[in-house]
Amino acid sequence: MKPCRNYTFSSSLAPAIEGLIREKRSSGYMYNSNADVLKELDTFCIEKGFDSETVTKTLSDAWAVQRDTEGISSRNIRVSNLRQVSKYLISIGVESYMPQMLQSTETKIAHVFTSEERKEFFECLNKLKIKRKNKRFLEECRVIFRLYYCCGLRLSEPLWLTWDDIDCDSGRITILQSKGYKDRVVWVTPDVAEMIRKYNEYISAECPDEVLVFPGTKKGKPINEVTVRAYFQRTLAMTSYVAISNPPTIKSFRHTFVVDRLNAWMENGENIEDKLPYLSKYLGHNSIHESLYYYHQVSEAFKIIHEKDKTSNIVIPEVNESEE
């Protein structure tokens, strides 16, 4: 299992938080992003002087205050994690207040790159200029972003790759211990494999004896997600579509990967129902119902799915993006 950031929970809620994390991870969830929010909650309790071993309404109200820098969705992510702590306490017989979620009036539809947008993004990425000391991270991101699109990877999945996980000759990449602790294999095209091979020559000279494909600032640690997001935003800012109402995010690469596969199958007259189990396994989903989330997202945007797929009229279950 990949290491988590070292942190010792020390607030009055520490036993409940640690118990919740153990329970989630024993059920197959990595729970790293949630753990980061819970670390923030733990610090919040200490700094604000909350000393109850259960979730109280006073704590809930204080934690739920929407910050100037966040929207309702971000606020609800924080509250959702506190709710999980409360649910855990209730499950072990401890009385606990259940925080309330705010209802968002926004209907968020995932952005899917058009072929023109995708081409422009990578052209801008190739043109991006940065300080010499940061050149290595830019080179890393140039490969990482192509892996997001070409393989439909989640944000953290390429970051922990080692050179033993990649076979440039065959284009095979092994994703180890991803979400739900599942291993899987993905493939890259020959041109991307060649790009990785050239990148290997560069990074081997920059970071000798480093086993990680995308090393960070500390030995044995990968480039962090904050840096990856920053280079994505800097590249996006150079594009002509940066100001659109629904701009792409890093997850848009994964959505686009799926949509391109669906469209290709449609155009080839393939039966989507037969293909979904393969797509689901490729994406690292637990079931095809999780993969159908993308179906729901693109059904309005891609007429070819409406026109050719007889299953487009079935009821598509919603999937929580944080669980995807």
First to last CA, the chain: 20
Same domain membership, residue 211 and residue 257: no
CA distance 77 to 196: 36
* pLDDT score recorded for residue 291: 64
Same domain membership, residue 256 and residue 231: no
* Residue pLDDT, tens place only, 79-100: 999 999 999 999 999 999 999 8
* Residue pLDDT, tens place only, 123-150: 999 999 888 888 999 999 999 999 999 9
Same domain membership, residue 255 and residue 231: no
Q: Which residues contact 52 (CB under 8 A, 6 or more apart)?
A: 12, 13, 59
CA–chain centroid gap for 147, Å, is: 13
HSE value, Cβ hemisphere, 13 Å, CA-based, for 77: 15
Q: Which range is most confident: 177-186, 217-226, 231-240, 248-257?
A: 231-240
> Is residue 100 one of the residues assigned to a domain?
no
Is residue 104 very low, low, confident or very high in pLDDT (cuts 50, 70, 90)?
low
Same domain membership, residue 221 and residue 175: yes
* pLDDT score recorded for residue 68: 79
CA–chain centroid gap for 187, Å, is: 19
Q: Give the residue numbers spanning the domain of 289.
A: 251-313
> Is residue 173 one of the residues assigned to a domain?
yes
HSE value, Cβ hemisphere, 13 Å, CA-based, for 32: 16
Q: Burial level of 218, CB count in 10 A (0-12/13-18/19+)? A: exposed
The model's pTM: 0.63
Question: If you average pLDDT over residues 194-222, what whole number do you get?
Answer: 93
Share of the chain above pLDDT 70, in %: 82
Share of the chain above pLDDT 90, in %: 53
Q: Please determine, for residue 304, whether its predicted confidence score (pLDDT) is greater than 50.
A: no
Same domain membership, residue 199 and residue 168: yes
Q: What is the CATH number of the domain that holds 144?
A: 1.10.443.10
Listed residues 75, 91, 107: the one ending a domain: 91
**Crossing angle of the two packed helices 225-236 and 135-151, in degrees rounded to 10:** 80
HSE value, Cβ hemisphere, 13 Å, CA-based, for 112: 20
> Is residue 52 one of the residues assigned to a domain?
yes
